Every structure is written in C-alpha cells, then in structure tokens.
Amino acid sequence: MALTGIEIFKLLPKTNCKECGEPTCLAFAMKLAASKAELSACPHVSEEAKAKLTEAAAPPIIPVTIGVGGRALKVGGETVMFRHEKRFENPPGLALLISDGMADAEIESRLKKFNDLQYERIGLILRPDLIAVRDDSGDATRFAAVVSKVKQSTDGGIILMSSNPDTMAAGLKVCADRKPLLYAASEENSDRMADLAKGSSCPLAVKASSVEKLAELTTKLTSAGVKEMVIDSGSRSLRQAFEDQVIIRGAALTKKFRPLGFPTIVFPAEMTNDPMKEAVIASIFVAKYGGIIVLSDFQGESLFPLLVERLNIYTDPQRPLATKEGIYEIGKPDENSPVLITSNFSLTYFIVSGEIETSRVPSYLLVKDTEGLSVVTAWAAGKFVADAIAPFVKKCGIGDKVKHHKLVIPGYAAAESGGLEEELPGWEIQVGPRDGSNIPAYLKTWKP
Ligand code: SF4
C-alpha cells in the first residue's frame, strides 16, 4: 500500500472497537500499511474511505487474469523496474497464433503442439499458456468454429483476435465461460468492444498507434467502466516496441500514470519472418517487459529456452531456486538400483539428474533440503554434513525401497563418509564423482 500507517489511520473510524482483531485502529492501520491485513477486516470503514484506500492499495500495474481454473493466467501486478529491486511477480504468457484462414489439418497440428510441448523441471511443469485465434477469414461463422475447436482441444487460455465487433461477439459466444482476452479495442470500435468486455466480464486488449493514443483510449475505456485491460502500443519493429515497453513500465511505476498501468501484449509473430529471430525477439520481451508474447509458431528448440528463461527471470533473486526435498526416481529404479544423494540447489539437481538420465542407469536420487545451497556451499555451512544427511536418509523411506543399502555421496562431500557410516548403521557410504559429467561412467560400473 502506497499510504503510510498514519495516513491510513486518518481514514479509519478511530473507535478502537477491536472487531478487526487488532487492539486499536492505529494498530490495524499499521498492519494495512505493511500489507499484513485486509481492509475488509474492518466492518465500519466508510464507503468513501474504502474507495480511497482501495485506490491507494491498487498496484501501479493492475493484475489481469485470462482463463479460468488451474490454467488461468495472471499477468501484470508488477511493482519494480528491475528484478534486483524486489522481484517480478507474474511471468508473461506465451501464446501460439492460429489463424481461422488456416486449413483444418494445420490447426489440428498446432493444437497438438500446444498440448504436447511441455517440460517438467524441478517439480514444475513448464508450458505455453495461450492460443491466439486470429480472424483472417472475415467470416464470423468460421471464426466461431475455430474458437470452438480450440476450446474443445485444450484447457489453455484463449485470445480472440478480431477488429470486427460482430465477429468478436460470435467467438465470445462460444467461449465466454473460459474468460478469453478480447483483442482489440481501437479508436474505431472501442464502444462496442467495451460493451462486449463488460457484458462478458472478460479482459479487453486495447491497441493504438502510439503510447500517447493508447493512454487516451484506456482513459476513455476506464471511464466507460472497463477495468481489466491489456495494452498494445501498436509498434511492430523491435526497437520501437522495446522502447514502448520501457516507457510504459516507467510511466506506470515511477510516474504512477494510471492510463498506462496495465500489462502489455507484444507480437514477435508480426516483427519478422525468421523463426529463430522471432524467438530471440520474444526472449527480449520475456526480460523486459512483455505481459503476453504472441508467437507465430512453436518449435521445441525455441520454446524450451523461452520457458526456462521465463522461469529464471521470474524467480525471486533473494531466494536461491530450490528443488523440493525428497526421493526422485530417474528411469524406473528397483530394489537393486543405485541411490545417490545431492543438495537441493536447483542447478545442482538439474545437472545431477541430467547426468543420471544420460547414463541410462535407473536410479534413486535423494535431494536433501539445503535451503537452495550447492553441495560445497551447503557442506561449508553445515547443512550437508553427516548430522543433517543421516536423519533425512532414515526418514525419507529409501531404506525400504532398496535391498543393498549403499549410498553414493558427492565427491565434494567425501569428508562426511566416516560420519555417515557412524550415523547410518547398516549403510555403506560410497564416494561418487566430484564432477557431474563423470556420473554416467561411474554408474555404468556400479554394482549393488
Ligand atoms: Fe478500528 Fe475498524 Fe478495527 Fe474497529 S474494526 S478497531 S473501527 S479498524
């Protein structure tokens, strides 16, 4: 909340009735200022004060949700220009373009790609988020039929792209329950597009030919009662589009300029015909400051790096990326498979699990919670030592899964082997390679 505790206190009833759970209104105001309480906890706050406090509490870039259920995508809600200041909040949505002018077979193939291209990393599923259906046929019936096909084939979010309000209405009729993004309101059609967005409670994309005109249009639409908007400055050259992203983010955050306080949508799909260049352009907008990034097609070799980049940029820089503690099965291990242990620094996990996969020796990988520290750092900090590892090995249940009771520890933690044999009676501690790249050769000669 942008207001101080004292400023908030001035807007509260000052009766100290305690119904909010706090002993005084001042105590409640301080908690509100620190975002540790919700305004709704006070039943006596006036409507006028509520409006002022809600306005002050709104993030400078409003969050917008597209879609419903588990695949709903939230974009916007950002509060900083640079990731090191705090963290970026909501990763940009990656969208695949489908034209209603495409042949049905091509549409089917794109839908299959959208559903198939997903990757599991550190317990997370990395996948694209949205399908943008573009009206190129000029035929509302065809547009609605393609939207219907998309809706039936995937639970991903949907962007309806048409400048014709009648065609938009036809597409919306088919998928309003999926809360699609309506792209786009412009100077020519904004009144009717606003009615469609308000009538269906769907977010509305707004497109103009410059940042200035965009601000005029969002101001008009806000007055008309449209709340959830996504903005497109209309630029289709990398240089101008990138500049617009920086201007929009800066105006919203540092100038508190509400007409530009919305997530953006960008179209690498319309900036080049070269697929590799398109992926590079998309990667620039992942870093700064695309809210939704629309691609002309998906290929594994370009989508995967974008998903990983997005994951990395949108993690909290103040907290190391960590993998969940537990037993990870790689391949289909059985009671005679090797058991290795490592720390829960994600990069370590990626490397070790990748090398085990490369070896093609089904194995159990125990991941010990070291608060996201690598093996050497965790060992030096006393978090990957015999006293910490042994209770985890006993508790995790790996002893019931294998007959041999041999535990392979990282070469860098070799000093812990004696301590572990004392702490884990019945277990043989084996010192594995220091370097992950030596794991495949090591596992190929390992015997239970
Ligand atoms: Fe004050 Fe409202 Fe809390 Fe009562 S419920 S103490 S009026 S803030």
For 211-261, give the DSSP string. HHHHHHHHHHHHHTT---EEEE----SHHHHHHHHHHHHHHHHTS--GGG-
Mutate to test the pocket of ligand 1, among 9, 10, 22 (most ligand atoms within 8 A of CB): 22
**What is the rounded CA–CA span in Å between residue 290 and residue 246?**
10
Beta-sheet strands, E only, within 15-129: 64-66, 73-75, 93-99, 119-121, 124-126
3-state secondary structure 388-404: HHHHHHHHHCHHHHCCC
pLDDT at 218: 98
Residues with CB under 6 A from ligand 1: 12-13, 15-20, 22, 25, 28, 42, 44
- Which residues are 339's β-sheet partners? 364
CA of 32 to the centre of ligand 1 (A): 12
Q: Which pTM was predicted?
A: 0.76
Cis preceding linkage at 224, omega within 30: no
Distance 137 CA to ligand 1 centre (A): 58
Ligand 1, atom 3, lies closest to the CA of: 20
* pLDDT for position 122: 66
Give the Cα separation of 126 and 300 in Å (integer): 12
pLDDT tens digits, the chain, 448 residues: what are they? Answer: 467 889 889 999 999 999 999 999 999 998 888 767 888 899 999 998 888 887 777 788 999 999 999 999 999 999 899 988 888 999 999 999 999 999 999 999 999 999 999 998 766 899 999 999 999 999 999 999 999 999 999 999 999 999 999 999 999 999 999 999 999 999 999 999 999 999 999 999 999 999 999 999 999 999 999 999 999 999 999 999 999 999 999 999 988 899 999 999 999 999 999 999 999 999 999 999 999 999 999 999 999 999 999 999 998 877 777 889 999 999 999 999 999 999 999 889 989 999 999 999 999 999 999 999 999 999 999 999 999 999 999 999 999 999 999 999 999 999 999 999 999 999 999 999 999 999 999 999 999 8
Mutate to test the pocket of ligand 1, among 40, 44, 46 (most ligand atoms within 8 A of CB): 44
179-190 tens-digit pLDDT: 999 999 999 999
d(CA 420, CA 440): 24
Query: Which token pair is 401?
Result: 């899964």
Measured from the Cα of 16, ligand 1's closest atom is: 6
Q: Could you identify the residue written with the tokens 């996504």?
A: 230
Q: Write the pLDDT tens digit of every residue in 19-57.
A: 999 999 999 998 888 767 888 899 999 998 888 887 777
User: For position 5, what pLDDT does the model report?
Assistant: 86
The CA 41 to ligand 1 mean position distance, Å, reads 8
Give the nearest ligand 1 atom to 15 CA: 7
Q: Are 361 and 432 contacting, i.e. CB atoms less than 8 angstroms apart?
A: no
pLDDT of residue 322: 86
Structure tokens at 5: 């505790």
Instruction: Provide the angle, in degrees to the nearest 10, between the axes of the packed helices 190-200 and 165-175.
Output: 10
